[in-house]
Amino acid sequence: MLYWDPKEDMFVDWEPSMGWNNSFSEQEKIAYMNLYFFFIRTRGLKENIAESLAQMHIFKEKFPSLQYSEEQELLLKSHMQLKCTS
């Protein structure tokens, strides 16, 4: 999937390190990429953590009753609150 950064002069072909989840629609892939790059560039998270949080968020959107561990829920909630306020 191609990603365009307004600070760059070119498109970048990017995909998660473990590949795309087959259940993700094109819209979900775009949302995943936006979250991933937000976490990397704005929050300064490591790539593996940014990927995990983006994937967790997409699955929470797909399956609203999904529950992660208490620590994971707090981590995701705190980073998503930061996204909503920025």
The 10s digit of each residue's pLDDT in 23-76 is 999 999 989 988 998 898 888 899 999 999 999 999 999 999 999 999 999 999
Q: What is the pLDDT of residue 45?
A: 92
Instruction: Report the distance separating Cα 82 and Cα 28, nearest Å.
Output: 20
Show the tokens assigned to 58.
Answer: 């997409």
How much is the pTM? 0.78
In this structure, what are the phi and psi dihedrals at residue 46, rounded to the nearest 5 degrees?
A: -70, 155
Instruction: Report the distance separating Cα 77 and Cα 11, nearest Å.
Output: 31
